[in-house]
Amino acid sequence: MRIENPSIVSALTALSVELQHGIALSQMTSLGIGGTTDLLRLKRHESIPDLLKLLDANGIPHKFLGGGSNLLVGDGELPFVALQLVRPEPDVVIEGNFAKVDAAADLGRTVTFCAKNDLGGMEGLIGVPGTVGGALRMNAGAYGMQIGSYVREVKLYRAAGRKIEILSGEQVSFEYRHTSFAPDDMMLAVTLELPAKPFKEILQGIRICNEKRRSSQPLGQKSAGCIFKNPPGASAGRMIDELGLKGHSVGDARVSDRHANFFVNAGKASARDMLTLIADVRERVHEAFGVGLENEVVVWNA
Ligand code: EPU
């Protein structure tokens, strides 16, 4: 979708929003898949309510883009614009056991920055690509921890009330890869309360998690992490593997040889290829195990 109306363009400038025309979202997603649209880069949280009023008044649909690491975007010209926060400097501020983190901060860099300040707890998230805002929305987790456990306060734009609000951690429910945020809420910043630990000890934990991840996941390849959620008490990856589906492909969309719940873009996969592969694997798992796998990956317009 393109914004060409000069009065909208100048209103965006007045709101400190940078308009980038015709951005291929394939360049902004870890899967390397996605069509084209205008990208609106937001420099000030405070301008978001006015920006969304402007978009609504002009009938311009939008979606919030974080780090693009858990996202499958449809092919071709997209019928919405993408909004993305510009990362401020500094993006993480430490006060005692609290880390105040902008939603646009890189997750891995945040984990290591906190570690250097002797704050641990998030070692499991090392190696998970994406932003802190994306991790928060999905309640990202690995190796027995999840980010939600450390959340004390969230600053967000709430689409329902059309304003910026601050919620305490207790007001949000964090479940396995799911939160009580509405789909059109936009994460802006989070305060984490982290356990004090000596840097050396945290580093050891980080090394162990890094090693486990390297040995079991296809880190160098284009993927969106796990495609399906694990059903209660079972592993989607193990079930897909047991069906002998590693390497199974549709076009360049392929079930990873290393971890069967990672589907990789081995070349020029389209969203259509990836969706066909997802549907095919889901059906085979259902036939064999009677389990309906749910997407973990977020799908836009595909
Ligand atoms: N397994 C296989 N074959 C495979 C993959 C896994 O047999 O191809 C077996 C493993 O040997 C293991 C079991 O299945 O016995 C579980 O595998 P793994 O430890 O890799 O964990 P997972 O359940 O597949 C979950 C998360 C990952 C997270 C890891 C580590 C989900 C959907 N996946 O994977 O998160 O990194 O645990 O904690 O919850 C993600 O969210 O995108 C993601 C990758």
Q: What is the pLDDT of residues 194-238, one digit of tens each?
A: 999 999 999 999 999 999 999 999 999 999 999 999 999 999 999
Amino acid residing at 124: G
Which uninterrupted H or E stretch holds 201?
helix 199-216
| Mutation test residue for ligand 1: of 30, 111, 216, 298, the one with most atoms within 8 Å of CB | 216
The closest of 49, 55, 63, 70 to 3, measured between CA atoms, is 55
Structural contact between residues 189 and 101, judged by C-beta atoms closer than 8 angstroms? yes
| Ligand 1 atom nearest residue 216's Cα | 20
Q: Which of 123, 226, 254, 282 is catalytic?
A: 226
Q: Six-digit token pair at 132? A: 């802190």
Instruction: Say yes or no to pLDDT of 302 above 90.
Output: no
Handedness of CA 173, 177, 183, 186 (dihedral sign): positive
CA–CA separation, 61 vs 63, rounded Å?
A: 7
pLDDT at 69: 97
**Per-residue pLDDT tens over the stretch 1-51:** 999 999 999 999 999 999 999 999 999 999 999 999 999 999 999 999 999
pLDDT at 153: 98
Beta bridge partners of 226: 262
| Mutation test residue for ligand 1: of 226, 242, 256, 295, the one with most atoms within 8 Å of CB | 226
Q: How far is the CA of 235 from the centre of ligand 1 (A)?
A: 7
Structural contact between residues 263 and 277, judged by C-beta atoms closer than 8 angstroms? yes
Average of per-residue pLDDT across 90-102: 98
16-46 burial: b if 16+ Cβ within 10 Å, else e: ebeeeeebebbebbbbbbbbbbbbbbbeebe
| Ligand 1 atom nearest residue 235's Cα | 23
Q: How far is the CA of 154 from the centre of ligand 1 (A)?
A: 29
Question: Is the C-beta atom of 175 inside 6 A of ligand 1?
Answer: no
pLDDT at 142: 95
Question: Is the C-beta atom of 255 inside 6 A of ligand 1?
Answer: no
Question: Is the C-beta atom of 225 inside 6 A of ligand 1?
Answer: yes
Q: What is the mean pLDDT of the chain?
A: 97
Instruction: Say yes or no to pLDDT of 301 above 90.
Output: no
pLDDT at 114: 98
**Per-residue pLDDT tens over the stretch 170-183:** 999 999 999 999 99
| Mutation test residue for ligand 1: of 209, 228, 238, the one with most atoms within 8 Å of CB | 238
Question: Is the C-beta atom of 143 inside 6 A of ligand 1?
Answer: yes
Question: Is the C-beta atom of 245 inside 6 A of ligand 1?
Answer: no
The closest of 121, 191, 118, 202 to 154, measured between CA atoms, is 191
Structural contact between residues 92 and 101, judged by C-beta atoms closer than 8 angstroms? yes
207 given a catalytic annotation: no
Q: How far is the CA of 256 from the centre of ligand 1 (A)?
A: 12
The closest of 78, 76, 81 to 270, measured between CA atoms, is 76
Question: Is the C-beta atom of 260 inside 6 A of ligand 1?
Answer: yes
296 given a catalytic annotation: yes
> Can you point out the beta strands (E) in 194-294?
222-226, 249-250, 253-255, 262-265
Structural contact between residues 53 and 59, judged by C-beta atoms closer than 8 angstroms? no
Counting residues of the chain whose pLDDT is more than 70, the rounded percentage is 100
Instruction: Say yes or no to pLDDT of 127 above 80.
Output: yes
Helix and strand totals (H; E) in the chain: 7, 19
Q: How far is the CA of 81 from the centre of ligand 1 (A)?
A: 33
Average of per-residue pLDDT across 257-285: 98
| Ligand 1 atom nearest residue 225's Cα | 42
